[in-house]
Amino acid sequence: MTTLEQQALEYHAAGQRGKVAIQVTKPVGSQTDLSLAYSPGVAAPCMEINRQPSKAYEYTAKGNLVGVITNGTAVLGLGDIGALAGKPVMEGKAVLFKKFAGIDAFDIEIDETDPDKLVEIIAALHPTFGGINLEDIKAPECFYVERRLRERLSIPVFHDDQHGTAIVVGAGLLNALELTGRDISLAKVVCSGAGAAAMACLDMIVDLGVRRENVYVCDSRGVLTTARTLSEEKRAWAQDTAAATLSEVIGMADVFLGLSGPGLLSQDDVRKMAARPIVFALANPEPELRPELVREAAPDAIIATGRSDYPNQINNALCFPYLFRAALDSGARGINQEMKRACVQALAALARGADGFGPGAIVPGLLDKRLLGGVTPRIAAAAWDSGVASRQLDPAAYRLQLEALGKTLL
C-alpha cells in the first residue's frame, strides 16, 4: 500500500511542480492589449497611484493579495527546518486562501532569524500586499515581530499560528461548554504548552469569559508558578501554587488544552478531571493523548484534535481566509480583537446551526459551504463598528456577494 508520505510527494511533484501559479487577469491577445498592460499605457496607473496611493487598491492586485511569510523556524510539528523546507507549507496556505475565500497569496520564505532584521525585510515588502499573514515563526520572536509590524504598517498583519488557533479553539470551547452545561466563568482550565499558540488561546478564552485565576499553565519544566523565573509572556499566567506538574494541577479540571507535544497527557490525568471533561489535545501530528485513549479513560469526554482523521478538527483554515476577506473588503487597517471575537462567535453559531451538532461536531467542517457567507460579514461588521475599517459594507448585500463567490470556489 502506498503511504501517505509517498502520496504527498507524488502530489507535489505531478505536472507543474508545487501547488500555486500566477494567472493573468486581463486580455493580452493583441498589440493594443500589450500596450495597455505594459509600456506605454501602464504609466497612467503608476502616476495615479503616485498622486493618490489608495488608488493602488483600484488599479493593482494589492487589494486582493496577501503575503504568506515565514522564516521556517517553527514549521507545523517539524520545528526549525529552515525557510526553504517550509515552502510547501506556505504554498499550501496560499491554496487555502484562494480555495476558501478567493484571495490571491504570494508565499515568501525569508532566510533570516534575527527578529529586527526580519521586521525590516517584511516592512519593506508591504507595498506589494493588502495584508500579511505571518506563519511558522518560533516563539518568543513571533510576538515581537508581529507587534513591531502592526505598529509600523497600516495593513492587516496576522500571525496565524497564534490567533488562528485561538479563534477556532474559542469557538469549539464555547460549544463544548454549552453541551456540558458549564458556566465559562467557573470552568477550570489546564493548559499544556506555553508557546505562541498557547498564549494566544489563553488570551482568547479569558476574553470570552474564563477567569485567569482558574487557568493553570505548564511548559516543559512544569507548572508556571510565581516561584519560577519566567519570561514576560509566561509570567502573566503564573499561579501562586506549590504544584509542580500537570498531574498535580489537573484534578477536577473541566478543560484540558494541549498545545505541546505527544504523550504529555496520560489516561490517569484524564480520570482526575471533572465529569464530562473537555479535552483539546491539539499537538500535531501526534496529540498529547490519542482520542481513543481519552475515550477509554472518560467515555463521556468531548475531544478535539488538530488532525483531520478525527472529529472536531481545530484547523486554522476555519478562520484566516474569512478574516482576511473581511479585512480586505472593508479596508481594515488591521485585524483587532473585536474582529477575532466576531469570528469566534460566528463559527460557534454555524456549528450550533448545523445538522448533527453535538459532542462530535463542536466546530464546522472545513468544506462547510456556509462559512464564507456566514462568517465574513460578521467580521466586516465588527471591523466597522470598532473603527478599524474604512468602508461600511451592507451586511445583506455583502452576504449575497460572498455566497455567489463561494459557488465558484467550492
Structure confidence by residue, pLDDT tens digits, 149-203: 999 999 999 999 899 999 999 999 999 999 999 999 999 999 999 998 999 999 9
Q: What is the pLDDT of residue 76?
A: 82
Please report, for the domain that includes residue 63, its CATH number. 3.40.50.10380
- Domain end marker among 155, 186, 207: 155
Looking at the structure, do residues 269 and 209 belong to the same domain, yes or no?
yes
Is residue 135 predicted with pLDDT exceeding 90? yes
- Confirm whether 361 is domain-assigned: no
Looking at the structure, do residues 71 and 33 belong to the same domain, yes or no?
yes
Looking at the structure, do residues 117 and 35 belong to the same domain, yes or no?
yes
Q: What is the pLDDT of residue 284?
A: 87
- Confirm whether 6 is domain-assigned: no
Is residue 96 predicted with pLDDT exceeding 80? yes
Nearest to 383 by CA among 319, 330, 329: 330
Looking at the structure, do residues 135 and 230 belong to the same domain, yes or no?
no
State the cell numbers at 292: 481513543
Q: What is the pLDDT of residue 298?
A: 98
Range of the domain at 384: 317-353+369-407
- Confirm whether 360 is domain-assigned: no
Cα–Cα dist 361/347, whole Å = 12
State the cell numbers at 161: 499560528
Please name every residue paired with 278 in a beta bridge, in sequence order, or none if there are none.
255, 302
12-21 contact pairs (CB < 8 A, 24+): 12/88, 18/88, 18/91, 19/88, 19/91, 19/92, 19/94, 19/95, 20/91, 20/94, 20/95, 20/98, 20/105, 20/107
- Confirm whether 364 is domain-assigned: no
Looking at the structure, do residues 26 and 105 belong to the same domain, yes or no?
yes
How many domains is the chain built from? 3
Looking at the structure, do residues 140 and 208 belong to the same domain, yes or no?
no
Taking residues 84-94, report their average pLDDT: 97
Positions marked catalytic: 38, 93
- Confirm whether 1 is domain-assigned: no
Taking residues 110-123, report their average pLDDT: 98
- Confirm whether 362 is domain-assigned: no
Looking at the structure, do residues 80 and 195 belong to the same domain, yes or no?
no
Question: In angstroms, what CA-CA distances link 333 with 27, 64, 144, 262, 339?
Answer: 32, 14, 19, 38, 12
Q: What is the pLDDT of residue 333?
A: 96
Q: What is the pLDDT of residue 4?
A: 87
Looking at the structure, do residues 169 and 138 belong to the same domain, yes or no?
no
Question: With bands split at pLDDT 50, 70 and 90, how would you rate the model's confidence at 285?
Answer: confident
DSSP string for 280-332: EE--SSS-SS-HHHHHHH-TT-EEEES-TTSSSB--GGGTHHHHHHHHHHHT-
Please give the helix or strand (H or E) that residue 88 lies within, else none: helix 87-101
- Confirm whether 299 is domain-assigned: yes
Strand 255-258 relative to strand 189-192, pairing: parallel
Looking at the structure, do residues 97 and 129 belong to the same domain, yes or no?
yes
Q: How far apart are the first and last CA of the chain?
A: 30
Is residue 222 predicted with pLDDT exceeding 80? yes
- Domain end marker among 284, 305, 326: 305
In terms of C-beta density within 10 A (0-12 exposed, 13-18 middle, 19 or more buried), how is residue 199 classed?
Answer: buried
Cα–Cα dist 142/129, whole Å = 20
State the cell numbers at 82: 529552515
Looking at the structure, do residues 345 and 400 belong to the same domain, yes or no?
yes
- Domain end marker among 116, 138, 155: 155
Share of the chain above pLDDT 70, in %: 100
pLDDT tens digits, 2-41: 898 999 999 999 999 999 998 999 999 999 999 999 999 9
Cα–Cα dist 325/171, whole Å = 19
Report whether 113 contacts 130 (CB < 8 A).
no
Looking at the structure, do residues 269 and 252 belong to the same domain, yes or no?
yes
Is residue 78 predicted with pLDDT exceeding 90? no
Cα–Cα dist 45/122, whole Å = 25
Taking residues 205-210, report their average pLDDT: 98
Is residue 77 predicted with pLDDT exceeding 90? no
Please report, for the domain that includes residue 181, its CATH number. 3.40.50.720
Looking at the structure, do residues 174 and 82 belong to the same domain, yes or no?
no
In terms of C-beta density within 10 A (0-12 exposed, 13-18 middle, 19 or more buried), how is residue 356 classed?
Answer: exposed
pLDDT tens digits, 303-357: 999 999 999 999 999 999 999 999 999 999 999 999 999 999 999 999 999 999 9
Is residue 1 predicted with pLDDT exceeding 80? no
Average pLDDT, the chain: 96
- Confirm whether 339 is domain-assigned: yes
Q: What is the pLDDT of residue 262?
A: 94
Taking residues 103-115, report their average pLDDT: 98
